Structures are given as C-alpha cells and as structure tokens.
Amino acid sequence: MRVSSRAVEAPLPSAKGAGFFCRRLALPLLPSHYRRREGSGMLVTLLAAAVLSCSSLVAVDGDTIRCGTERMRDMGPGSPNKSGYDAPEISRAKCAKERLLGEQAKIRLQELLDQRGTRVEDSGKRDRYGRPLVVVKLGDGTTAGEVLLREGYAVRWKPGYKASWCE
C-alpha cells in the first residue's frame, strides 16, 4: 500500500454515529482509490498528522487554544516554525488597543471552535514555549487561521516578525 501525504477520506465500516477521533495517534493515509465517492456512506478523514480529541476546546487568545488542559498554538495555514499567523496579545498586551483587539480575536476564534465539524490536527512540532503546534480545521476544510486573517483579526507571521498592534 502506498502512503500519500494528502488528507483523504475513507469509509469507516460498521460505524454508528459520528465523532470517531484518535488522540495523538498518527495514521497512514490510504491510496487515492479510497477517496470519497457520492453515496458511499459514513466516512472518516485519515490524516498524516494526528487528529486530537478534546474534552473541551477553548480559545485562550486569538492564536492559542486549550484542548482539555493543554495549551496549543494554532498555525493556521502555515508550516511549523516557518509561517503562520499572529493575533494580538491579551495578557501581555503592550497597550489598551492591543488588549481590545486581542479580546475581539479571542471571541472570534471561540466562535470558530464552537462550529460543528471543527477538529484539531497536531503537527507533531512544538513552538519555542513548548506548546504543540496545531491546525484548527473547520467543517468546510478551511483553517481558523485563514478565517482570522481574512476577517482582519490576525496578520501573517514568519520568523523575525515583530507585532505592532499599538501604532
């Protein structure tokens, strides 16, 4: 069996109900002939990255989530430690404007986390603070980061970037 690096959907035999997730278990991808076909019944997405099951999913700020008790950094459409997005800080804000923008970004991220079909994918990498780098995927396949960038709650991040929310 050839393993692909893309996410694909495969039928889940004898599955009843929904919400079948694994916790930090990397799964190989199935070949392309297992992709979804119209009318194929219940499907589960198998990913090269781990899909996390969270007892609770809470926005800490505009780019950090808490899955159960663990804080995680959302990368959005980026790559681990190479690109992603940045949202204003709340607890370490440099001015009142940044704190206000940070609260707004947190509220919007929580709305996205609360949407049906939202899932958290672990990249297997960590940021400089030791937090797992994850991607929050929405039910339609877009990332929470893409939405926050598009709606102006966040900006693109690359190494060496310095935020200027107070200007």
Q: What is the pLDDT of residues 69-116, one digit of tens each?
A: 999 999 988 887 778 899 999 998 999 999 999 999 999 999 999 999
DSSP, collapsed to helix, strand or coil, labels residue 125 as strand
pTM of the model: 0.69
Return the pLDDT at 49.
61
d(CA 122, CA 132): 7
**% helix / strand / coil in the chain, to the nearest 5?**
15, 25, 55
- Mean per-residue pLDDT for 24-37? 38
DSSP, collapsed to helix, strand or coil, labels residue 11 as strand
Burial letters 17-56, b for 16+ CB under 10 A, else e: eeeeeeeeeeeebbeeebeeeeeeeebbbbbbbbbbbbee
**Please, what are the domains in the chain?**
1-8+22-35+44-53 (no CATH), 54-167 (2.40.50.90)
